[in-house]
Amino acid sequence: MSNGVKETFHQLVFGDSRDLSEIPPESVDLVVTSPPYPMIQMWDELFGRLNPEVAATLRGQDGSAAFELMHAELEKVWGHLWRVLKAGGWVCVNIGDATRRIGKNFQLYSNHSRITLCLLRQGFQSLPVILWRKQTNAPTKFLGSGMLPAGAYVTLEHEYILIFRKGEKRPFVTPPQIANRRGSALFWEERNAWYSDVWDFKGIRQSLGQPVSRARSAAFPFELAYRLVNMYSVRNDRVLDPFLGTGTTMFAAMAAGRDSIGVELEPGFAEVIEGQLARLPQLANERIAERLEGHAVFMAAYEARKGASPHRNRHYGFPVVTSQETDLILEVLRDITRESDGRYRVSYDRLELPG
Ligand SMILES: C[S@@+](CC[C@H](N)C(=O)[O-])C[C@H]1O[C@@H](n2cnc3c(N)ncnc32)[C@H](O)[C@@H]1O
């Protein structure tokens, strides 16, 4: 806070997240990230740069060895997470498996199980995962001999969001901690949709209208990061994305009133990120307006069915379903200031409703 105005702080680092030693121990509350996907062709060149042996094994048509070498590079990043996270902190990893023919061999490369194993070995608790369903209607989606059993393979139409926690549940003990957690509450109807284990973003606005196409940047939707940040952290927490790409996690943290740090190997993304930052206040505030509107529509239907709710939000006076939503506060993003060295300061106003 400065002059009573809430602020959050964000740091964008162009560098290699295999070395996160600059990030102090136990300084991060939540990691939201999506690494390059091993054995998906668009990332071969990058993995080849991280370890030239990858390219050699691919040329030698040894898929299993290439898969292991690629994951060995990712493990150098995962290896820092335990140290930088606070006790009770969360890790959310968006990852897809790969199917690929190498020589005569067509097979599944199970990235999600490989990463799960790695984090379990470090001591993380694995918690129920979310399937992000990415339906494709491409006519070529069926592989193999389609109508004739038994030679066809099912199509991969989902990705994973793997969820891990460092140890036991995070305690909220002091009155300010408890108040901040209550202020960070979700609406009941949001909780019901967001804590489902299948997400499908059909019909939900997904991006900032990225100038680089999602296919080229492999960006995940803004909504994906926004939900995870709101579900697994509280306001003013610090969120890390060690594979920041086009900056989506940082934007979600800004929109949700959290601090963030993002690390990205390719300096070429700087311009894309800067361009999107200019549009972020509008997007973040539209998302808040959407949440409010969604809540009003939901409550009208809910109260028509069940009668008036006994609970009202203390700040805004509108009805809510549970007592856990009575202290929920929404903040409007006012301004993003660029400081030196990839640092950004974001200021907010508390949302005021007319009347
Ligand atoms: C799947 S993309 C992440 C996309 C991101 N979630 C977004 O919404 O734009 C993976 C990113 O990790 C970056 N990357 C790969 N290896 C890295 C490393 N060792 N250090 C930092 N960034 C790395 C890639 O350049 C790429 O931008």
Contacts of 35 (CB under 8 A, 6+ apart): 74, 77, 93, 95, 243
Least confident of 15-24, 211-220, 230-239, 322-331: 211-220
User: What does DSSP assign to residue 163?
Assistant: E
Please state which of the ranges 81-90, 153-162, 210-219, 346-355 shows the lowest mean pLDDT. Answer: 210-219
Structure tokens at 285: 């505030």
Q: Is 18 in the pocket of ligand 1 (CB under 6 A)?
A: yes
Could you tell me the distance, in angstroms and rounded to a whole number, from the CA of residue 242 to the centre of ligand 1?
7
Q: How far is the CA of 243 from the centre of ligand 1 (A)?
A: 4
Q: Is the CB of 219 under 6 A from ligand 1?
A: yes
Banded pLDDT at 137 (limits 50, 70, 90): low
Indicate if the pLDDT at residue 216 is higher than 70: no
Report CA 243 to chain centroid distance, whole Å. Answer: 11
How many degrees, rounded to 5, is the angle at CA 186 between CA 181 and CA 188? 130
Chain centroid to Cα 212, Å, comes to 19
Q: What is residue 207's predicted lDDT score, i.e. its pLDDT?
A: 59
- Which pTM value belongs to this model? 0.95
Mapped onto helix, strand or coil, the DSSP state of residue 221 is coil
Tell how far the Cα of 35 is from the centroid of ligand 1, in angstroms: 6
Distance CA 224, CA 243 (A): 15
Is residue 203 scored above 70 in pLDDT? no
Closest residue CA from atom 16 of ligand 1: 265
Percentage of the chain modeled with pLDDT above 90: 85
Question: How many C-beta atoms surround the C-beta of residue 31 within 10 A?
Answer: 25
The tokens 């694995």 sit on which residue? Answer: 126
Residue with tokens 């959310």: 92
Query: What pLDDT shows up at residue 147?
Result: 81
- Where residue 39 falls (left for φ over 0; alpha for ψ -120 to 50; beta otherwise) is left
**Chain-wide mean pLDDT for the chain?**
93
Task: State residue 213's pLDDT score.
Answer: 54
| pLDDT tens track for 145-168 | 678 888 888 889 999 999 999 999
Distance CA 37, CA 111 (A): 7
Confidence of residue 4 (pLDDT cuts 50, 70, 90): low
Asked whether the predicted pLDDT for residue 346 surpasses 60, the reply is yes
Give pLDDT, residue 148.
84
